[in-house]
Structure 1
Amino acid sequence: MIGIATDAIDPPSLLAEFIATARGAGGIASFTGVVRGLNEGRAVEKLWLDFHERMTPAALEGIAADARTRFALLAIAIVHCVGEVCPGEPIVFVAAAAPRRRLAFDAVDYAMDRIKTEAPFWKRETHTGRDHWIEARSSDQMDRARWEETH
């Protein structure tokens, strides 16, 4: 289950579907990212995400394939929203099923670090009626870099 959602996602339903297909796992971990209500001290009215029709799904598939190999996963799910998303609404869902819990936790963390730094999404926030493009943060790059140090 890897893909782009143009409608709202329902993480509990996605997780239930994922668990049903993750037979034999010793651990299943998941992460749901939601749109922040505040960003750098400013109230967020909405977030708009755009993506590249071919490159973004291919990047998510590549991240999933790398995580499968690196963490001996039995299954992985990545579902990312595009379009308009409001504060408090889910924007991304990642789940991993592995033989052991630590592998599942690490796989979800690894996938999110890669999604944040490598998947081609363009994000625009609206604050008090004005749009602001979201740039990559140095902390996202540092989070991604730690995976190079540990493996």
Structure 2
Amino acid sequence: MIFIITITLILLYSVNEFINNEIAKIKPTTSEETHKERITKTIVKDGTAVETITEITEKNPNINSDKNAARIGFLERILYFIGIVSQNWALISIVVVFKTIARYKEIDKQIKAEYFLIGSFLSLIWAIVISVIFIAFDKIHNLGMVNYILNSVTYNLKFLN
């Protein structure tokens, strides 16, 4: 059982690179995303400046943002997976709503909206594919994990009422 859960998590994480490549195809490469940074180094020998070197490098301030987006996408796919396997459609709706609220200001721009939609749809489709594989594997090998998950969710809902 741990093996299946581990494989499922690996499959859910493995799509990060694919989604990043697809999004990179439409992501804008404007001057606001890439900044040039000027670094000046002075070589000092015996207390006097011998040589001054100036380097101009391109710096992308969105590198950490891209890493955080990949982490958020992985967590998003896990929540989609849990929602699909447990047939908890409200969880999937909540993930979509929170993601939309968090990115509301960025969606105003056309390119950002396309970036947002493609990433969201690819995450959802990948989570559906992995969920179907997980459910099929469970049914073929009579492991009963899906039934256990469904019974746990049903029991918890009855307990709340």
TM-score, scaled to structure 1: 0.35
TM-score by length of 2: 0.33
Comparing both chains, which one has the higher relative contact order based on Cα–Cα distances under 8 Å and sequence gaps of 6 or more?
A: 1
More helix by share: 2
Return the index of the structure with the highest Cα Rg.
2
